[in-house]
Structure 1
Amino acid sequence: MEISNAKQEINITPELQARIDELLSHYPADKKKSALLPVLHEVQDAHDNWLSVPLQDKVAEILEIKPIEVYEVVTFYTMYNQRPIGNYMFEFCRTSCCCLRGAEDLMEYTCEKLGIKEGETTPDGKFTVVGVECLGACGYAPMLQIGDYYKEHLTKEKIDQLIEECKAGQVNLH
């Protein structure tokens, strides 16, 4: 994903700061950088599931590291979003097992059904569709991840049902 020019309010609430402090307590005081991945998850979750550059800078400040050390991690891992995404992000596995079982066709079908291209978000802000590397569920191919959950043995019918459930607010992401 590309870096966004979208504006994002940085809001490190007392609750979020307490959670960051709790995470930091698991590491030696001089090794705050060790908490980078879990801190990024917490901060992203508290900021509409994406991390602007200024927000990444704030994480660097909190962890007392250089901003580039945060950027390197955020740009490497697909679990960190560098631009606003839809409420429901369909992350299709597109490695060998899933592709052999039709994941690419299902991703294309989903994009067509939602009227977007891969990596885009629907105009209503509800859906984003992306392809990601192996999600580690090869025996259940083709599959996708939505929030914290896997949807496995996908078919067009299952995609249709998932979209309708998301539209109705019936899909729990955590």
Structure 2
Amino acid sequence: MSSVIPIQQVDLVGQPIVNYRDVLSGKEIAAIEHECSLYESRPAAAIDALQIVQSERRWISDESLYAIADMLGMSATELEGVATFYNLIYRHPVGEHVIHLCNSISCWLHDYQTITEHLSKTLNIEFGQTTKDGKITLLPNVCLGCCDKAPALMLDGELVENLDIKSIDSLLQGLRGGKNA
């Protein structure tokens, strides 16, 4: 899944213990330290720390997870629970752009299936996959909270509402630098 983890030792359950300074960049460490200063306990900054590292690396590798856990003074298992609970923390590599297609009941009632089929066919991928050029990852999302503007998706953290085939094609063309998807 990731590069070789610089293991110094393992904990009681066999998880690697790493020194975060061997894995995280100075920029990441400084940003995480700032977030930790805003909370009463270091583990409370777990989501922020995961987001900081992900913003630099696009996903959280095992190596990064162990390093963040070390820095926050928590177990890797505890941090893994946080990371896998939130669908905006990626534990596998993703493309340069990530599309979260809302699959709530409102979106289903407003042509979700047609949008899904068009995205899959146009990108030549299914949910959970990334295009061969590494540009776009397509993921489902339980609800984006914009049911009054369904169907909707989130692209790189920005909501796109009232989707139709034309708006999807325009969006994909923009992602591909004006080239046909």
Alpha-carbon distance between aligned partners in 1 of 2:106 and 2:113, rounded to the nearest angstrom: 11
Query: C-alpha separation between the residues in 2 aligned to 1:98 and 1:24?
Result: 38
Show the counterpart of 2:156: 147
Query: Is 2:61 aligned against 1:52?
Result: yes
Q: Is 1:69 paired with 2:81?
A: no
Instruction: Give the whole-Å Cα distance in 1 for the aligned partners of 2:174 and 2:53.
Output: 27
SS at match of 1:150: strand
Quick check: 2:2–2:62 contact (8 Å CA) kept in 1? no
Cα deviation for residue 11 of structure 1 reads 5.0
1-side partners of 2:134 and 2:100: how far apart?
Answer: 16
CA distance 1:105–1:55, shift in 2 (3 Å): same
With a CA cutoff of 8 Å and minimum separation of 6, indicate the structure with the bigger relative contact order. 1
1:43 aligns with 2:70: no
Rounded Cα–Cα distance in structure 1 between residues aligned with 2:97 and 2:116: 14
Cα–Cα, structure 1 residues 122 and 45, in superposed 2: closer, same or farther, change >3 Å?
A: same
Q: Larger Rg: 1 or 2? A: 2
Aligned-pair CA distance for 1:8: 8.6
Task: Using structure 1 for the length normalisation, give the TM-score.
Answer: 0.87
How far apart are residue 105 of structure 1 and its match? 2.3
Q: Which runs of 5+ in 1 are unaligned?
A: 170-174
Q: Comparing 97-106 with 137-146, which one deviates more in the overlay? A: 97-106
Tell me which amino acid in the other structure corresponds to 1:81: Y
> Alignment identity in percent?
28
Report the alpha carbon displacement of residue 66 of structure 1 after superposing the two structures with TM.
0.5
CA RMSD of aligned residues (A): 1.7
The equivalent of 2:136 in structure 1 is 127
Query: How far does residue 13 in structure 1 lie from its aligned partner after superposition?
Result: 2.0
Deviations 1:72-130 (A, max 9, x none): 11112110111111111110010111111112321221011011111110110001111
